[in-house]
Amino acid sequence: ARDLRLATTTSTDNSGLLGYLLPRFEAAHGIKVIVISVGTGKALKLGENGDVDVVLVHSRPDEDRFIEQEHGVNRRDVMYNDFVIVGPLVDPAALRGGRDAVKAFGKIMDARSVFVSRGDDSGTHKMELRYWSELGKQPTGNSGYRSAGRGMGEVLLMASELSAYALTDRATFYAMKDKVDLEILVQGDPRLFNPYGVMAVNPAKYPDINFDAAMRFIDWLTSSQGQQAISEFKVDGKQLFFPNAAP
């Protein structure tokens, strides 16, 4: 069978999730999966241009637009993990133990603490912007706000260097935990929920796309087997991704 090209975000690849899932899928279906791990924006662009067969990302509004504009079909929920607000141990804005993400952002702003933003239109960045707008504030009103324009790992390192706060997905934070002097200060807010969606590139647009393999991949990922594998994947004994595909 022809190889399947998957464009996905760095969080799924760098956390080791794909390394755990794909051999199982490949064994079951005899289809080799080629992973191109990039930012959400670029992953969707590759799908839009028909350069990959299937896309696995986390930015619901962008995903919906992708389907709406008929670049993709068959979008399915796969799993979620969650965002957490991390910061330096000294915690100058006193966020520790909080649950409310929007309130935490307000405290950061009031304390004029340094906050490092992804600033790259990624799913994480868009989530962050939602909290600011719920707060009713312009993030740039804070002189400590740094729009970094970089990936999650780099933003965590930068926050650690600058003793700053940051919004991150839990998987990347665990993967980077040993390298940064940061800890989770705020978690558990339902608004911090981070869902991943998978979708096939529209075969009507690109007839020679590997649509069959893409569908099989989506089916497997949302099947009980795939869902179970996701929940079995652990880093340091902790589960990072929680399957939530509709049966």
Question: Which amino acid is residue 56, in one-letter code?
Answer: L
- Binding segment for another protein (CB under 8 A), chosen from 84-92, 96-104, 148-156, 212-220, is 148-156
The answer to whether 44 and 57 have CB atoms below 8 angstroms apart is yes
- Binding segment for another protein (CB under 8 A), chosen from 103-111, 147-155, 214-222, 237-245, is 147-155
91: left (phi over 0), alpha (psi -120 to 50) or beta: left
Question: Which amino acid is residue 37, in one-letter code?
Answer: S
Return the number of the residue (107 or 118) whose C-beta is nearest another protein: 118
Size, binding site for another protein by CB under 8 A: 41
Separation of alpha carbons 35 and 28, rounded Å: 18
Each residue 105-124 as x (binds another protein by CB under 8 A) or -, in order, gives: --------------xxxx--
**Residues whose CB falls within 8 Å of the CB of residue 241, separated by 6 or more in sequence, listed in order:** 17, 79, 80, 81, 171, 196, 230, 231, 233
Can residue 92 be called a binding residue for another protein (CB under 8 A)? no
Separation of alpha carbons 81 and 79, rounded Å: 7
Residues 157-216 that bind another protein (CB under 8 A): 157-158, 161-162, 175-176, 179-180, 206
Q: Which of 72, 106, 139, 153 binds another protein (CB under 8 A)?
A: 153
Can residue 36 be called a binding residue for another protein (CB under 8 A)? yes
Sign of CA dihedral 226, 227, 228, 229: positive
Separation of alpha carbons 78 and 9, rounded Å: 14
- Binding segment for another protein (CB under 8 A), chosen from 80-88, 89-97, 131-139, 156-164, is 156-164
Can residue 65 be called a binding residue for another protein (CB under 8 A)? no
Interface residues toward another protein, by CB under 8 A: 5, 10, 14, 34-39, 41-46, 48-51, 119-122, 146-151, 153-154, 156-158, 161-162, 175-176, 179-180, 206
